[in-house]
Every structure is written in structure tokens, then in C-alpha cells.
Amino acid sequence: MPYTYLRRHAPFWISILVGILLWEIAGRSTSTAFMVPFSETIRTLWHLIKSGEFIRQLMESAKLFLSGFVLALIVGMPLGMLLARVRVLRVGIEPYVMILYATPMVALIPFILSLMGFGFAPKVLVVFLFAVFPVLYNTVEGARSIKPEMIEVAKSFRSSEWSLWREVMVPYTLPYTMTGVRQSIGRALVGMIAAEFFLSSTGLGQLIMTASQNFDTGGVFASIFVIGLIGVGLMRLGLKIEQHFAHWRQ
């Protein structure tokens, strides 16, 4: 058992170790204003954690991320399902959803700033705008994949509206919605950092900004490292969710 574990995971750990080693060497052989070695990054991170600063900022960011993301799900999923059921609505709204899905939402941040100022609400709006369209777009896409015959058959067996939703609409669109949810997680994270950079500075975004304004390269590296880990973790979570529902589709 440990042998097979080792064989399967050895390449992963070797590549991680080599990466850390390269980072360390590169960091030590260049100026500290340019790059900071791995050991220094971890030390800075440890100081940030011990002072309580890091946890406080992390919580601040988590609050923003979850508010915007959950709001996007609450709006995106039912709206997407409704569009799935009411064909004329779907046909009408589809191109606009597609346009907004392809629009870089960051461009709206200056408008949000000058209209809503520096509170918590405008930042939630930014995360929401980043996150909602992938959910909506993919749910509508899923709705298009339902064959009309399915609904006709359900209807000719006198299925009620409720059971039509429960047996046909939801099971068929949910796997697509979950693809949207995965994309939304990544976009909401970008939205969160963008909001923290360009609106009022809080959370992990503020951590990076402060470090970079003080030319504290160690602090910049430590924050980017942590946000990178969070990004990878959330991406994995998203893939897990998507695969779970993709499996359930079959």
C-alpha cells in the first residue's frame, strides 16, 4: 500500500520539491527587491498569520466572496431554469446573456465606484457581476439541450408542472449549471480581488496592495502565494462539484 502510494504520488512531490528548490535558488541569487526566496516567503507568511492580520483579512475576503457568489447562484440558477421552461423568454434573452458573458466586467468597475462609492455593497455587486453570467449562460445552454420530445412525452402522460420540473427540467439542466458554477468560482475570485484593488481596499487585496506600496517584496510574494493556493483549492472544489453532477447525468 505505501509503495503504490509512493509510486503514484512520487512524481508530484518531486516536481513540487524541484519547484521550491528553483524558487529558492532564484530568490537567493537576485535582489530582494525583485524576488524573495521560498523560505523568506514562508517566514513572512508565518509572521502575518501570527499577528492575526492575515486571518482578519482572509475573513474579510471570504465574506465578500461568499456574499457575491451566493447572490449570483440565487439569481442565476432560478432565472436560468425559468428561461429553460419558457421558450419565448429564452429566445428573447439568450443573445443578451451571451453578450454580457463575453463582456469584460472589469470595465464596469469605474462606473460602480462613482455611483456607489466605497462601501461593502458595490464590492458585492462586482463579485456578483463577475459570477452570475457563467451560471446563467450555461444553464440556458443546458436548457437548449433538452429535447422537446421529452417535455411532450411528459405532458402527454399528464405530468403536472411541478413533476415536469422535478423529473425533466432540473435533472437535465443541473449538470450544465454546475459547469457554470465551476467557471463562476474562478471568476468570482478575480472579481473579489478586482473589487479589493479598485474599490475600497480590504481583505487579501489590501494585504498585497500595502505590501507592494511599501516595496515589501516578501509580503507581496506571501500574499500571492496564499491567493494562488486558495485559487487552486477552489478550482479543485469546482471540478469536484462539476464531476459529481456530470456523473449523475448518466
Q: Which residues bind another protein (CB under 8 A)?
A: 11-12, 15-16, 18-19, 33-34, 88-89, 91-96, 98-100, 102-104, 106-111, 113-115, 141, 144-145, 147-148, 186, 189-190, 192-194, 197-198, 208-209, 211-212, 215, 217, 220-221, 223-224, 227-228, 231-232, 234-235
Contacts of residue 178, defined as CB under 8 A and 6 or more positions apart, other chains included, come to 241, 242, 244, 245, 246
> Smallest gap, in angstroms, from Cβ of residue 218 to another protein?
12
Comparing CB distances to another protein, the nearer of 86 and 160 is: 86
State the cell numbers at 147.
429535447
How far apart CA 224 and CA 41 sit, in angstroms, is 10
Comparing CB distances to another protein, the nearer of 70 and 93 is: 93
> Measuring CA to CA, how many Å separate 182 from each of 22, 73, 80?
32, 11, 16
Eight-class DSSP state of 107: G
State the cell numbers at 180.
457554470
> Smallest gap, in angstroms, from Cβ of residue 81 to another protein?
18
Instruction: With beta carbons less than 8 A apart as the criterion, state whether 35 and 217 touch.
Output: yes
> Smallest gap, in angstroms, from Cβ of residue 231 to another protein?
4
> Smallest gap, in angstroms, from Cβ of residue 107 to another protein?
5
Comparing CB distances to another protein, the nearer of 177 and 217 is: 217
Query: Could you give the angle at the alpha carbon of 45 between the alpha carbons of 44 and 48, nearest 5°?
Result: 90
Closest C-alpha to 62, from 172, 250, 168, 196: 196
Comparing CB distances to another protein, the nearer of 137 and 245 is: 137
Comparing CB distances to another protein, the nearer of 24 and 94 is: 94
> Smallest gap, in angstroms, from Cβ of residue 149 to another protein?
9
Type of residue numbered 228 = G
